[in-house]
Amino acid sequence: MAWQATQRDLDLLATVAEYRVLTPQMLATILGRNVRALRRRVSALMHADLLVADRRYPRFALGRPERMLSLSVRGAELLMELNILSPRTEPKRAMRPADALLKHLMAMNELRTQLSQIPRIQPELSVRFLSSTSPFLPTWAKGRPIVYDRFRDSDGRQCSLIPDGALALSHATLGKTLLFFVEIDMGTETLVSSSGHRGDLWHKVVTYQAYYACNAYKRYEKIWNSQLHRFRVLLLANSRGRAGAISRLLRDVGTTDFILVADQAHMMTDCVWAAIWRPGGKLDQPEVSILGSHMPVPYPNPIEAQVNARSQG
């Protein structure tokens, strides 16, 4: 009898397609499954040529390096054959990216993996995420992701931006939704050029200021059927030194308290929901949590949240 994928297998494959590359631990955390049992199923899916494993990935302080899982060509084709992915999708949109993009995507996926745990530690909260790399979301003209936006600032100038992701954090009892845009900074964008000119990240910050001022973000009200009064930007730097440089830039630009800065190391050792985010990069203000007053006290770190999720599952 020919081997067949179960519905749980298809859910697993679809999750890998959404993120494009994940470690087994990240995948187990997102799905709320026992990691040992999941590893066994991953091996079966690899044997069926639906998944492939790449070199090992070091997850900071969260244990030994793990393999990186992604869809094979056959895995992507299967999801299209079953209309889980649109048949018009290019298989490569659901597969491992090029090496040059891998570290950036893994940093994003670490953040998203932690975000997926928020409803488990605070059941009244829900998380919805639109990724610029998702193969499940439609694209605009020229293949631009759904989070791409063009708008005119208060002076009528044409502006555009592509966040790495858009996050809706909703409270069921209060009926309120907070909008966040996510920017993963890998230290490659210039702050100020060698000639003294303002760099790429400076222009990105100014564009977000214009976006904030003209209420262009209101289009997400239709996407999520939620009223939005403002937004924040989560700017995650690849190192503490880079976070410090970005903080100085934000202080120089001014009126950037809606941009929250943190670094990957703090996120991995504390968690995305901890008080690790510095508004506007200002050292004279306390670091804040994206959950505000709804952050659990004491808050669980990522490993504790994973253990709790597995015990509940």
Reported as a single tens digit per residue, the pLDDT across 91-134 is 999 999 998 899 999 999 999 999 999 998 899 999 999 999 99
CA torsion, ordered 108, 111, 117, 118, to nearest 10 deg: -120
Q: What is the pLDDT of residues 143-198, one digit of tens each?
A: 789 999 999 998 899 999 999 999 999 999 999 999 999 999 999 988 875 555 56
Residue 123 CB neighbours (<10 A): 9
- Name which of 192-201, 248-257, 277-286 the model is least confident about: 192-201
Question: Helices (DSSP H) in 48-85: which residue ranges?
Answer: 73-81
Mean pLDDT within 254-278: 93
Classified as helix, coil or strand, 98 is coil
pLDDT reported for residue 87: 93
Mean pLDDT within 264-273: 92
Locate 19 and state its tokens: 């993120």
pLDDT reported for residue 218: 95
Amino acid letter, 224: W
User: Could you tell me if 137 and 129 are in contact, meaning their C-beta atoms sit under 8 angstroms apart?
Assistant: no
What mean pLDDT is reported for the chain? 89
- Name which of 17-21, 47-51, 56-60, 217-221 the model is least confident about: 56-60
- Structural domains of the chain, ranges and CATH numbers in brackets: 7-96 (1.10.10.10), 107-309 (no CATH)
Task: Select from 232, 120, 104, 106 the least CA-distant residue to 168.
Answer: 232
Q: Which phi and psi angles does 192 have, rounded to 5°?
A: -140, 130
Does 52 have pLDDT greater than 70?
yes
Alpha-carbon distance of 120 to 282, in angstroms, equals: 31
User: Could you tell me if 128 and 168 are in contact, meaning their C-beta atoms sit under 8 angstroms apart?
Assistant: yes
pLDDT reported for residue 79: 96
Classified as helix, coil or strand, 182 is strand
Q: Tokens 């100014």 appear where?
A: 206
pLDDT reported for residue 304: 56
pLDDT reported for residue 309: 46
pTM as predicted: 0.91
Alpha-carbon distance of 169 to 186, in angstroms, equals: 25
Amino acid letter, 13: L
CA torsion, ordered 16, 236, 97, 207, to nearest 10 deg: 120
Locate 170 and state its tokens: 């909703």
